[in-house]
Structure formats: structure tokens, C-alpha cells
Structure 1
Amino acid sequence: MDNLRNASLFQPLELPCGAILKNRIAKSAMSDSLGDGRGDPTDAQIRLYERWAEGGLAVSIVGEVQGDPRSAEKPGNLVLGPASDFGRFRALARSGSANGAQLWLQLGHAGAMAHPPISDPKGPSALDIPGVACSALTADEVAALPSEFARTARLAKELGFGGVQVHAAHGFLLSQFLSPLFNKREDGYGGPIANRMRLLLEVVEEVCGEVGPSFPVAIKLNATDQLEGGLVEDEALAVITALDGSGIDLIDISGGTYFPGARSASDRAGGGAYFLDFAEKARPLTRKPLMVTGGFKTQQQAADALDRGVDVIGLARALVLDPALPDRWRSGDTGGPAFPTFTDPPEGGITAWYTMRLTEIGEDREASDGADLRTAVRDYETRDTARIELWNARKWT
């Protein structure tokens, strides 16, 4: 029985567009912070996605690829637009699609969470609270967003990437429109959830129309914002119901918000997948394939999720610790990687440690000894400070 359940992880999946994932394991989008500070891929980033492809997964998703440099989350983000180095992006697409894998770009816009030293934070509504300040998008700016996402998706297709994912989770712009905590608009994009999801549906429609019916378009969606006053489960289920009539090929379920003081998904009590119960509620509402991201550490947990109606398993930190984990599971080793234990971590320390580990993988270096979070934070911040200067010196048009 265990062998049969293990085999289910390695069955192909045909998406509604006709594209085929070679198995059910995905590297979910992470902000790998490996851009060169000018919006283009680095050698380490290209090698990182090649290593994940070599490790046996079906698809990797590059987190937070911006269409507009004024809406970036961090100076390590990629920016895909007319001024991009297309040769570098093509090299990334080729390397990430080795070994029968696919490489998708996540279409990002940080909105209110845009990094002020390099961006122009704008969200659904004006905010001025500790840690977040932004102005409100005008009606004309909102109307221009679907075309912006679609242009980035078209470029991704032209440069050889296997698909795109629309980012509507974790407190980034489209997630902000869905959330009553961020969205206080009084026009057709605010108020009840039917209005708050309007921009998302317009983005999905325009992206799908731009890339055509045979190119994969996924979406990342919060099950919950994990913030008081934010998006709640019933509203998220309403969005999934609406997406069933769209051209989306895969719904990636996650949760949480990168908001000052907010709990992360990994702060949830208990082990195992964080959003599997939500996925079970979503399953009767849509014919679209479902992916669940967050909390998977062992092959048994992944196989259990497939038994409960999930189609794709999204792994993030597990693949940072062991880029060849899919091949190891295929060989019959059902355990997971050894997760480090952090005592009294500083704010941002765990994220910085995993982010710097991605650099080591991309440079084919072994993991550093120990788990010195303060050193990781220092190195992470020093690198971003240098990139801010590069970002602001670049001519983007």
C-alpha cells in the first residue's frame, strides 16, 4: 500500500490547457531574492532552478516577478519588461525546464507592501499605520492593471517559460483587493466580496486571453489572511467558485499575510499541511486542479493530501533543505529533510536564513555550519542595501 501511495505522487497530471506535469510535486513560489539588483536573473538564480529541476520535481514557480519596477517587494525581485535582459531570462527558462520539469513565473505586484526605497507603494486604499504607508490607486490605475499583468505573461511565454501564476495571496496587491482590511474602496472594486474579487477576475481573463488556451495559467490564493478583519474562509471559497468559470489551470491554496506583526502560516499550531482542511471544502466547488502549499515535510503527508482530493503538493522550505527530495521520495525514502531548530529567532531571521541558503544552493555550496540567524539577517540586509543603489540607478524605460 505504501508503494502504491508513493507511486501516486509520481503520476502525471494533465492540466485543463492540455499541458502535462510529469508528477505531483511543485516548488511553490518563494521570494528567492536572487535577482541582480537591476531586475535580471543572476548565475546563482539560474543554477538554483536547474538544481531543483534536476532533483525530480514537476514544476518550479519563480516568486514575485514584477511587470512594473515601481511595485517591487524587494530589490532582489526580477522585473520582466521591455528593458529586461531577455538573454538572461531565456537562460533561466532553459535551466529551470531541465529533466522534464516546467518553470513558471509568478506575476507579482506588491501594492501597499512595495519596498519604499525602490518603489511607489499604492494599494486599494490609502494606509498610514506602523510598518505600512501607501496611497490609493486611482480608478485609471486600477483599470490599467489587467493589461500590465497580461503583458508580463506574454513576455514569459515568448521567452520560453512553461507557464505563469497570478499572485493573489500573502498580502500582495490582488490579495489586498480581496481583503476588507486593505480594501475600503467605495467604487465597483470595494464592498462585498463580489466586488473585491472583480479586479482579480479581470486580471485572470486578460492574462488567459493574452497567452492563449494552451499555455498554463495558475493562481495563488489565500485560504485566510490570518489577520483580524481580513479575508475569511467563506469569502475565499466564493472566489474559488468564481474561478471555476475562468481559464485558470491550477489553484494554489496558501495563506497568511506578509504584514508587520502578522502570524505567518508556519506559526500555526500542529504539524502537517496548513490548508488541507480548506482544500477539502474547496474541492466540491471547482473542477480545477488544486495545489496546497505549506507544512508538508514527509512523503506520507504529501500522499495523504492526494488521497483527500489535492492534485499537486507545493513544497518550499523542504526543497531548500533538500533540492533532490522528489527523487529521494521516488526511490522509496519516505522521510523528509532535517528541519533546523531555531531558539529565540530575531525578527525576520528564519526567512533570512532560508533565503541565504538558496544562494548557497545556486552557487553549489554546502550548507553553512550551524544556524546563525543574526549573521543571516546581516548578510541579507547588506546585500539588499547594495542592490537598492543598483535598482535606483537603472533606467527602466
Structure 2
Amino acid sequence: MTQALINNELLNRPLELPCGAVIKNRLIKSAMSDSLGDGEGNATESQTRLYERWAKGGVGLSIIGEVQITPEYPEAPGNLVLDHHADYDALKALTARASVNDAHIWPQLGHAGALAYEPLSQAKGPSALKIGEFECLGMSEEDVSQLPEMYAKAAKIAKDTGFTGVQIHAGHGFLLSQFLSPLFNLRTDQYGGSVESRSRIIVEIIDKVRLTLGDTFPIGIKINSSDQLEGGLTEQEALEVVRILDTTSIDLIEVSGGSYFPGAKSSSDSTSSGPYFVDFAVKARDITTKPLAVTGGFKNREQVLNALASNTVDCVGLGRALILNPELAEEWTTGTETRLNFPTFESPPSGGVTAWYTMALTSIANDKESDAERDLSSTIQTYEGRDRERVTRWRAKFQ
């Protein structure tokens, strides 16, 4: 067998999850906050078109980022919300088209907690904090006890509207990541202290979601390899989290890192060459039999193949690469060595690169790729202006 055929087989091998569900290949469109909701928590035609494009483009699984379990603590006003307000017809239209070509489509179930979008929420995390200009309230024990049922209800809506699995978001500095982080979690009850105690609410959520969805429905989780913040979750603590997750019914552990805490350096904005978290996955492989996905900094096919060939990583998550080329998965799985031209920005403001990619993603969703704005300053203005317009709609719907 030629090396080219071996490489194609590495990418095209189906992945059977512990629940029995099968992902057709080893390439995941990892979660990104696409900000394509209608400002009232509902799916839109442009969002549906985008995920259909990625499905037709060959990914085995697409994950919709920042799908909120409650409108009270959103990451942004373009998020989907899976609660009693949800438009089931719009969600079913989205999942029907996003699952063509045997692709899986999962929502990333989240709660922004202390990083909730300020114009729409009074931020509340595991503990009351004031760090510089950052400030948030702390959750009561009753608040925490309600979380498993909230996640389970959102997961049930996902299943009922045609999603083929769910991912629980416990990374990037949002609520469940905050519980894991000693920087955010100063609690002295059963949800704070040791890594095991800080993980308790996540285990309770997984157990409740599994009970609600049944044994054969995929449940994944995204975690940090570290927070990359002084006083935050360390790599050693993150490995202990992996050990704990190995005892649960989780089907896929996706590893990433970093935080959107104000002033923190985003891994995805790093100028260093990726991939960023494969070394962590090597260590995690020794302590879990769960399938592992790694996301962050994969820029070419060779990097993906090297990760998969190590027998450490079961699948690779791609984000910005699939914005630059939505058909990339099909090209790479059929042997085309497509090279990507990642843009560079001189001294971009915090969040500026993310805004650029989000608006490039929006151009794809609207079938206007040729009209995509390339000037960073004007792109940021468009991005921020769109969110300001949605705030009014969100308040009218939910507040």
C-alpha cells in the first residue's frame, strides 16, 4: 500500500464512539461562536447554509459553538438558545441540512457565567470575584444545583430537533471551565477545593444528560489543557480532570486551551506555529480510553496526519482552516495537499482576529465570499455594530 493510500485511510477511518454512534472520518469542524443567530436565540437561513456547506465539504462532525442553555448568561447576542423559547422548526431545518453527506451535527451546550455578555447580563460565576476591572457575582448552592437539569433540558431539545449528539462546553473560560479553575472557583462547599470537587458539577451534568438522552446518544465535552492564566487550571490538574472524565459515560473528550478572560492571550490568536495541544493529548492517552480530539493550530494536512498516526489522537478539530476553505475536509480526505493562506495582522487589538474570522464566516454563510471585508478595522466595526443591533432584540425577547 502506498503512503498516499495509508494517509487517506488515516483520515477516512470511521470512529466508533463508546455509545455506538459512528463518525465517518477523523476531521471535526470544531466549535466557533458563529454569531449567526437572529438575536432572539433562533437559527437562521444563513447559519443553516453555513453548516450545510461544511457537511457537503466532507467533515465528519460539525459542532455549533456557544449554544446557550439559558438566555440569562449568553456569550454573545448571536448565540442560539435551547430553552422553552426555542423555535423547533428553525432548528429542525438547520439539523436536516447540516447532517447531509452522513455528517454529524452537535450543539456545544454552554453558559458563559462570569464571562457573560455585559450588555445583556450581570455576570455570575462559581465565586464572587474582583480582579482589576473585572468583577462578577458568585453562584449560590441552589444556583449550582439547578445546572444539571438545565443542561439536560437543553440536550433533550437538541435530540428532539435532529441534532445527532451534544458537546458540553467546559473550556475557554466559560462557566464549567470556571468551576475547574482555581482562579475563578474559590468555593468552600462540595463544588470547590480539590480538582475532584471542582469537577463535581461537570460529572453531575454528564450523568443527568446521559440519563435524559439514553445510552446510545453521543455526549462529548471540551476541556482546557490549561487556562494559560496565572492562578488558573494547570496541565497537571487538567490531566486529573481527564482521569475523572474517564469514569463517566462521556463519548469524546476534545482538548483545547486558553481563556477569553479579559486581557488573556487567546491560543487561536497566537503567532506561534501549531498544533498547540498534542503533547497534552499524549499524556492524556495514558490515563483514558475515551476517544480524544485535539483542536488548536492545525494549519496543514501533514500536521493532522502526524497527530493521527501517533495513535494518541483519534480525531482533529479544525476551525479557522475551514473558514479559509470550507471544502478542505473533502480535499484532504481524498489526498489533495491543499495549502492554506492564513492572513497576518500587525498589532491587532484584543479579539480583533476573532472578529475578522467571524465576519469571513458570515460571508460564507451569505454566499458572499468574494465580498468579504479584509480590512481589520472596518471588519471589527461591522462585527461590533451587528452585536449592538441584536441587543435590542434579545432584551425584547428575554428580558
SS at match of 1:151: helix
How far 1:129 sits from its partner (Å)? Answer: 3.0
Residues 107-116 or 358-367, more deviating: 358-367
Q: Distance in 1 between matches of 2:168 and 2:30?
A: 13
Counterpart for residue 287 of structure 1 = 289
Q: Distance in 2 between matches of 1:176 and 1:107?
A: 15
Alignment length (residue pairs): 396
Aligned partner letter, 1:159: T
Counterpart for residue 149 of structure 1 = 151
Is the contact between residue 269 and residue 353 of structure 2 (CA under 8 Å) also seen in structure 1? no
Q: Distance in 2 between matches of 1:142 and 1:370?
A: 42
Q: Distance in 1 between matches of 2:300 and 2:188?
A: 46
SS at match of 2:119: coil
Counterpart for residue 126 of structure 2 = 124
1:344 to 336, 343, 347: 347
Counterpart for residue 300 of structure 1 = 302
Aligned partner letter, 2:194: P
SS at match of 1:61: strand
Superposition pairs for residues 1-397 of structure 1, below 5 Å? 1-268=3-270, 270-308=272-310, 309-368=312-371, 371-395=374-398
Q: Deviations over 1:276-298 (max 9, x none)?
A: 00000000111100000011111
Is the contact between residue 131 and residue 260 of structure 1 (CA under 8 Å) also seen in structure 2? no
Aligned partner letter, 2:20: G
How far 1:159 sits from its partner (Å)? Answer: 0.7
Is the contact between residue 113 and residue 132 of structure 1 (CA under 8 Å) also seen in structure 2? no
In structure 2, stretches of 5+ residues that fail to align are none
SS at match of 2:118: coil
How far 1:332 sits from its partner (Å)? Answer: 1.8
Q: Distance in 2 between matches of 1:169 and 1:95?
A: 28
Query: Pairwise CA RMSD of aligned residues?
Result: 1.3
Q: CA 1:93–1:131 in 2, change beyond 3 Å: closer, same or farther?
A: farther
Q: Distance in 1 between matches of 2:121 and 2:332?
A: 42
Q: Deviations over 1:64-91 (max 9, x none)?
A: 1111100101000111111111100111
Q: Distance in 2 between matches of 1:367 and 1:207?
A: 42
Is the contact between residue 47 and residue 362 of structure 1 (CA under 8 Å) also seen in structure 2? yes
SS at match of 2:253: strand
Aligned partner letter, 2:122: D
Aligned partner letter, 1:11: R
Is the contact between residue 112 and residue 132 of structure 1 (CA under 8 Å) also seen in structure 2? no
SS at match of 2:62: strand
SS at match of 1:71: coil
How far 1:225 sits from its partner (Å)? Answer: 0.2
Aligned partner letter, 1:212: G
How far 1:35 sits from its partner (Å)? Answer: 0.6
Q: Distance in 1 between matches of 2:196 and 2:393?
A: 41
Q: Distance in 1 between matches of 2:398 and 2:248?
A: 37
In structure 1, stretches of 5+ residues that fail to align are none
Matched-pair identity in %: 53
How far 1:95 sits from its partner (Å)? Answer: 1.2
Q: Deviations over 1:303-347 (max 9, x none)?
A: 100112100110000001100001111232223321112122233
How far 1:120 sits from its partner (Å)? Answer: 3.1
Q: Deviations over 1:36-74 (max 9, x none)?
A: 100001111010000000100000000111111001010
Is the contact between residue 10 and residue 309 of structure 2 (CA under 8 Å) also seen in structure 1? no
